[in-house]
Amino acid sequence: MKIGFLQFKPELCKPDENILKVREIISNCKNSYDLLVLPELANSGYLFSSREEALSASDEIPGGNFCRALAEISKEKNAFIAAGISERAGDKLYNSAVLVSPNGDIDTYRKTHLFLDEKVWFSPGDTGLNVFEISGKFGKVKVGMMICFDWIFPESARTLALKGAQIIIHPSNLVLSYCQQAMFTRAVENRVFTITANRTGTEINGDKELYFTGKSVIVDTKGNYLCTAGENDETIMIAEIDPEAALDKNVTAKNNIFEDRREEFYF
Ligand code: ACM
């Protein structure tokens, strides 16, 4: 199975430009893939200064323009596409991720652990951390979604792994410097593959400024970094994996990371 990320710099509050840029990067990539992950808030950018601004760049799932464009790309490429989306649902906004399948199905995850001013613009996610089965010429594979800062809570990846995720899809807008290294641990402690699709660039809005760290990574079940992007690259990187490796939870002949858990000592 071929899995990848698309790293780019979304423009703040310009969803139409952002989908054009995504399309351009995709059309410049000659390699195929079965699953491609885009960054968090790929439609909207990140550093809003008002709720009106946040609303103006949001999309409805599944009928919004950005989602429909992702569905078209998924069909054209015969690949599953996951992306972070600023989601409008009634009078609420969520920091969400969608998983779009070539047959048009869309699954949604709403970010559980909001970071900084996301708490001002977005409602806390209400979907919980769920696993979805995807299928294709690569067979049947279980994938789970978490978004950016969810990584710092080990419970996020652990919940997805305990629910059977073989691959963790991780759209991100990382500003702290730890995550790309920490994904080694999330992958190893759960024996799963992880795809962290980060964004690049600096966003400035009024007197606010944020720098995003790029360096998207794909990590395998034993902590090998299969792909690492540059800090500022706008690119697609792809790794070929055997997702069945994530079904083997034995770290040694006598240690199974799930069966050896001592839940009576945890709280
Ligand atoms: C983050 O959760 N966007 C840092």
Residue 9 among the catalytic residues: no
Q: What's the CA-to-centroid distance between 35 and ligand 1, angstroms?
A: 22
Number of neighbours of residue 148 by Cβ within 10 angstroms:
30
| Backbone phi and psi for residue 36, each to the nearest 5 degrees, phi listed first | -125, 130
**Is residue 20's pLDDT more than 90?**
yes
94 within ligand 1 shell (Cβ under 6 A)? no
- pLDDT tens for 123-165 read 999 999 999 999 999 999 999 999 999 999 999 999 999 999 9
Can you give the pTM of this predicted structure? Answer: 0.98
Under 8 Å between Cβ of 191 and 226: no
Q: What's the CA-to-centroid distance between 163 and ligand 1, angstroms?
A: 24
pLDDT given for residue 208 in this prediction: 95
179 within ligand 1 shell (Cβ under 6 A)? no
Considering the candidates 111, 142, 203, 234, report the single residue annotated as catalytic. Answer: 111
Q: What's the CA-to-centroid distance between 264 and ligand 1, angstroms?
A: 32
- Rounded to an integer, what is the distance from CA 225 to the centroid of its chain? 17
**Is residue 221's pLDDT more than 90?**
yes
- Compute the distance between CA of residue 167 and CA of residue 148 in angstroms, rounded to an integer: 15
Of 225, 223, 229, the closest CA to residue 199 belongs to 229
pLDDT given for residue 1 in this prediction: 98
Strand blocks (E) in the chain: 2-7, 35-37, 80-89, 92-100, 106-110, 131-136, 139-145, 167-171, 193-197, 200-205, 208-213, 217-219, 225-228, 235-240, 250-252, 255-256
Rounded to an integer, the average pLDDT of 222-239 is 98
* Span between the terminal Cα atoms of the chain, in Å: 37
Closest-CA residue, ligand 1 atom 2, reads: 149
CATH of the domain at 14: 3.60.110.10
Please return the burial class of 55, using the count of CB atoms within 10 Å of its CB with bins 0-12, 13-18 and 19+: middle
Reading the block at residue 17, the tokens are 């430009």
**Is residue 94's pLDDT more than 90?**
yes
Rounded to an integer, the average pLDDT of 73-98 is 98
**Is residue 267's pLDDT more than 90?**
no
- Compute the distance between CA of residue 202 and CA of residue 12 in angstroms, rounded to an integer: 10
Residue 111 among the catalytic residues: yes
Closest-CA residue, ligand 1 atom 3, reads: 173
- Atom number in ligand 1 closest to CA 40: 3
Domain hosting 235: range is: 2-265
Considering Cα of 39, then 117, then 64, then 17, what sign does the dihedral take? Answer: negative
pLDDT given for residue 171 in this prediction: 99
Residue 142 among the catalytic residues: no
- Compute the distance between CA of residue 16 and CA of residue 11 in angstroms, rounded to an integer: 10
- Atom number in ligand 1 closest to CA 41: 3
Q: Which of 115, 176, 177, 196 to mutate to test the pocket of ligand 1 (most atoms within 8 A of CB)?
A: 115
Looking at the structure of the chain, the number of domains it has is 1
- pLDDT tens for 118-132 read 999 999 999 999 999
